[in-house]
Amino acid sequence: DTGVSQNPRHKITKRGQNVTFRCDPISEHNRLYWYRQTLGQGPEFLTYFQNEAQLEKSRLLSDRFSAERPKGSFSTLEIQRTEQGDSAMYLCASSRGGQANTEAFFGQGTRLTVV
């Protein structure tokens, strides 16, 4: 399977703990996006990378959140000192280049539950 892969699929953590998610994009895609989706809503943009450069971060991305894409391949999203409001589905997507008509391919997401 050469699609976008996210791990883990599910994560349950206690409030205050740190968590890290991984995304492996489609290999030839140089753009990688992170979104957050809460129940009953559409995905909300968090941040995106072109190769290893983080080009934009949403206001939603508080200082407890950090994302990296060190070699321009896989990416990690870390949440420090988790809060119950962080419970959501975290989606990763990748695309080839930055053309507006380029399709973004989504992974299956990581569902985070903070208890």
Partner 1 sequence: GDSVTQMEGPVTLSEEAFLTINCTYTATGYPSLFWYVQYPGEGLQLLLKATKADDKGSNKGFEATYRKETTSFHLEKGSVQVSDSAVYFCALSALYPNAGKSTFGDGTTLTVKP
Residues that bind partner 1 (CB under 8 A): 4, 31, 33, 35, 40-45, 48, 55-56, 91, 93, 95, 97-109
The nearest distance, CB 56 to partner 1, in angstroms, is: 6
**Closest CB to partner 1 among 30 and 80?**
30
The phi, psi pair for 86, rounded to 5°, reads -80, -10
CA distance 66 to 43: 18
49: buried, middle or exposed (CB in 10 Å: 19+, 13-18, 0-12)? buried
**Closest CB to partner 1 among 11 and 109?**
109
The nearest distance, CB 57 to partner 1, in angstroms, is: 11
The nearest distance, CB 15 to partner 1, in angstroms, is: 25
**Closest CB to partner 1 among 59 and 71?**
59
The nearest distance, CB 74 to partner 1, in angstroms, is: 17
